[in-house]
Structure 1
């Protein structure tokens, strides 16, 4: 199934719907909620406040401006500099593509190269009132946000690339896996854990500091933005390797409720350390989660030295 999805995604002229449906089946068979949720959102659309960054495209706004009830300018760029805040200006410079992927792929079947989003009379009245705080003396009519086919194509390509990268990593990690339904429970769990790690490290959901839920209701946190690109020094990498070795020794010799969650975080750290430029933020988040696990009721009796070591490493890497 993984190879089939990869082959379909490689053809940029094919719709994303079929490979997403296959991924939905894959997520169901291995019991992976992060993948299931992501696929569901890509197929059916996102709530506005949860639209991921790769689905937000550049746009501009146009309007008619009336002064004293008389048309002054028509179909003119909306004068965003009169808006009282950067947040409001940003609203008119971006457009969220929150529809399901099939709808997005069919935006331009009628031959148009432009998407118009009318904002309505009530919104125009609110915006006009806000602009008057900055000495705007006109009245806004026919306000709409516009984006172009090239921007939508870029967003669809971003979805395809993100999806393809995930499947290629799985194919590389599990080259012998063909029919998921015939695989053992252990293999399914390994695939599911790998998917969760990849999705956590590559921001498949939204906003800064979002979460992907994994394991027994454990939350794998991840971040976006500048901090997510900071890399860890060679000296600190060795410190992290040492504490991971200590943690793995504890996991091998003890049983406790959160053991599977701890293994997942260890794997996530090791995955970063294997990269040319390990991300400090990802390693810190996983070590922080491990510290939380080891201070839990079922594990803290056996994990005192490990907690101390993790605390020292977290302090060292800042």
Structure 2
């Protein structure tokens, strides 16, 4: 009878075995080795991530094309501001691997609703100025979902190969206490690691975590300042739509339980050009310090 880990490695290369069944076999190995963090990741891949759950892996981020569902059919919507376009079309796909596989088998083009806090506000501020009237949709390619599926498959392979390199094999369908002890000295991280490589730490190692928070005070103050300026008519009609679109992006991020600071930074950079070249000097002098703080 083949060793559990070697069998798992061979299964990855067997195209007749679906990624769903591969994950189930990997779950058996993780549970018998008593690795709770890995078992949790495998269960989420099999069952899906909660709709409002934090910590959906970075490899599940996709970006599509913004479309308008109009009486003339689906039409592409061109957004001039990269930060706004990114906010509207990015999505973390939290569906289970079995669901993603099923979706890829149905169609090559997938349409989803954008994650708007206030869809009517977005329609008014972005679709109306562009001359397109319709409900927003984001068009994804099945290749984006296939990439997620294949990334998960590769992560299982990398983990199994790491076990094999340490002599953890699972002969006779079980693991020895010595094998379990070796595993307990490792920490496997799958959830929030970018790219295809798994992250492995030994006990006693230290890591510096990237900063994910930003200047919420500057963000709140900038939103209030821009909103007041628009409400009081202190922005020219020529550039009003630009400012409204960028403000809508900042407002949506501020309301989000997990604001994306990279998008806020890009939006602030875009706002800098608008403020310096298109609006009154008083508003620019008031807003630019906040923009500078958010652009760092």
**Map of 1:144-159 to 2, 5 A cutoff?**
144-159=137-152
- Would you say the 8 A contact 2:32–2:175 is kept in 1? no
Work out which of the residue numbers 129, 143, 149 in structure 1 matches 2:136. 143
Q: How does 1:1-318 map to 2 (within 5 A)?
A: 1-48=4-51, 49-64=54-69, 74-81=73-80, 86=83, 88-110=84-106, 112-119=107-114, 123-131=118-126, 136=129, 138=131, 140-174=133-167, 176-179=169-172, 181-184=174-177, 186-194=178-186, 196=187, 199-200=188-189, 204-206=190-192, 264-266=202-204, 269=205, 284-285=207-208
What's the offset of the Cα at 1:190? 1.2
Q: What are the superposed Cα offsets for residues 139-186 of structure 1, whole Å, 9 maximum, x if unpaired?
A: 6423111111222222211111111111111112115532463512x3
> Is contact 1:46-1:100 (8 Å) kept?
yes
Q: Which runs of 5+ in 1 are unaligned?
A: 66-70, 208-223, 226-262, 270-282, 287-318
CA 1:122–1:138: 2 relative to 1, 3 Å? farther
| CA shift for structure 1 position 44 | 0.7
Asked whether the equivalents of residues 62 and 144 of structure 1 are also in contact (C-alpha less than 8 Å), the reply is yes
User: Counterparts of 1:38 and 1:121 in 2: how far apart (Å)?
Assistant: 28
- Answer whether contact 1:121 1:141 (CA < 8 A) is retained: no
Task: Mark the runs of 5 or more structure 2 residues left unpaired by the alignment.
Answer: 196-200, 210-296
TM-score (ref. length: structure 1) = 0.54
Q: What TM-score do the two structures reach when normalised by structure 2?
A: 0.57
Q: CA shift at 1:50, angstroms? A: 2.9
TM-superposition CA deviations, 1:247-293 (whole Å, max 9, x none): xxxxxxxxxxxxxxxx9433xx4xxxxxxxxxxxxx5449xxxxxxx
Using the alignment, how far apart are the partners of 1:169 and 1:137 within structure 2? 53
User: Secondary structure of 2:111's match?
Assistant: strand
Q: 1:3 to 1:19 in 2, by over 3 A?
A: same
Alpha-carbon offset, residue 13 of structure 1: 4.7
The number of aligned residues is 199
Alpha-carbon RMSD across the aligned residues, in angstroms, is: 3.2
Q: CA deviation at 1:113?
A: 1.0
